């Protein structure tokens, strides 16, 4: 569920390809270093 080397666009593509309800992933924020982003 944690993807350290993925962009927001790549995260969106990955989640759309899987297509499962309640899917999510976490990744480091590209705009706020040290923060994390949760994509659902």
Decide if 19 is inside a domain. Answer: yes
d(CA 40, CA 36): 13
Q: What is the pTM of this model?
A: 0.73
d(CA 20, CA 9): 18
Residue 12 domain boundaries: 8-39
Decide if 3 is inside a domain. Answer: no
Decide if 2 is inside a domain. Answer: no
Decide if 1 is inside a domain. Answer: no
Decide if 26 is inside a domain. Answer: yes
- Domain count of the chain? 1
| pLDDT tens readout for residues 1-40 | 899 999 999 999 999 987 778 889 999 999 999 999 999 8
Decide if 31 is inside a domain. Answer: yes
Q: DSSP characters for the chain?
A: -B-TT--HHHHHHHHHHH--TT--EEEE-SSSTT-EEEE-
């Amino acid at each position: 569920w944690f993807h350290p080397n993925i962009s927001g666009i790549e995260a969106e593509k990955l989640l759309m390809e899987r297509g499962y309800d309640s899917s999510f992933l976490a990744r480091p924020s590209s705009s706020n270093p040290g923060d994390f982003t949760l994509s659902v």
